[in-house]
């Protein structure tokens, strides 16, 4: 069958030659603006760094990060809940042979290894994300705020701080959902046009 295909004897099927390799680009004739012309076949190259500084912590409630040791950076990080990682908190050995310094901290060049509880860090990320949405699209900012308020009204009073249901809850937290479903109560969201 393969021989018949190559010879063109199978009806309706033709085997062509291998596609030609594109001619090698002469980069001396290209300018930087040519990078943005997608008709010029410039190969996109991933310049990301290898993950040789990846750290896994034993307690997965924490997020590790390499932080610049400059006091102007360390002070705000410590104030936001970041703390230094200790040797017994690392799950696997580091890919790069890094040992602790004289202060018992992991240091690489001008960075030091720190950790933060996910409950704090994820809250910081959410705040930054909402702020970015508000800057880019005010309508999305209103929708995000509306979702937060609806979530608070829907779940208010049903659980304690640990998420356990409160048996003698007298707050009528389900009232919002009932009135909202009946069309009698809505969270205001202005129509934003730009």
DSSP result, 36-83? G-TTS-PPP---PPPSTT---BSSTTEEEEEEE--HHHHHHHHHTT-E
Domain-ending residue, one of 136, 166, 184: 136
Instruction: Give pLDDT, residue 2.
Output: 62
Residue written as token pair 């991933």:
46
Residue 76's pLDDT band, with cuts at 50, 70 and 90, is: very high
Residue 58's pLDDT band, with cuts at 50, 70 and 90, is: very high
How many CB atoms are closer than 10 A to CB 103?
8
User: What is the domain count for the chain?
Assistant: 2
Angle between helices 138-155 and 118-136 (to 10 degrees): 140
**Closest by CA position to 30, among listed 42, 22, 21:** 42
**Closest by CA position to 55, among listed 89, 104, 81:** 89
Contact between 173 and 154 (Cβ < 8 Å)? yes
Residues 78 and 105 in one domain: yes
Instruction: Give the structural domain span for 154.
Output: 137-194
Instruction: Give pLDDT, residue 44.
Output: 84
Return d(Cα 184, Cα 90) in angstroms, integer: 54
Instruction: Give pLDDT, residue 11.
Output: 61
How many CB atoms are closer than 10 A to CB 46?
4
Residue 97's pLDDT band, with cuts at 50, 70 and 90, is: confident
Return d(Cα 95, Cα 82) in angstroms, integer: 23
Residue 11, domain member (yes or no)? no
Contact between 130 and 144 (Cβ < 8 Å)? yes
pTM over 0.75: no
Residues 147 and 158 in one domain: yes
Residues 159 and 170 in one domain: yes
Lowest mean pLDDT among 53-67, 110-124, 132-146, 178-192: 178-192
Contact between 106 and 113 (Cβ < 8 Å)? yes
Return d(Cα 92, Cα 6) in angstroms, integer: 55
Residues 61 and 114 in one domain: yes
């Amino acid at each position: 069958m393969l021989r018949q295909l190559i010879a063109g004897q199978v009806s309706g099927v033709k085997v062509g030659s291998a596609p030609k390799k594109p001619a090698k680009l002469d980069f001396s004739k290209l300018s930087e603006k040519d990078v943005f012309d997608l008709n010029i076949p410039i190969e996109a190259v991933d310049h990301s760094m290898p993950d040789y500084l990846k750290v896994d912590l034993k307690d997965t409630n924490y997020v590790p990060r390499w932080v610049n040791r400059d006091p102007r950076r360390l002070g705000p990080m410590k104030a936001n809940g970041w703390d230094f990682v200790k040797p017994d908190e690392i799950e696997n050995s580091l890919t790069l042979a890094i040992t602790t310094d004289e202060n018992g901290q992991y240091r690489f060049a001008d960075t030091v290894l720190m950790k933060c509880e996910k409950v704090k860090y994820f809250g910081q990320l959410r705040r930054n994300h909402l702020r970015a949405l508000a800057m880019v699209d005010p309508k999305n900012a209103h929708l995000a705020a509306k979702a937060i308020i609806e979530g608070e009204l829907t779940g208010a009073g049903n659980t304690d701080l640990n998420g356990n249901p409160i048996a003698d809850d007298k707050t009528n937290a389900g009232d919002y959902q009932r009135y909202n479903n009946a069309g009698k109560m809505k969270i205001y969201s202005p129509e934003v046009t730009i």
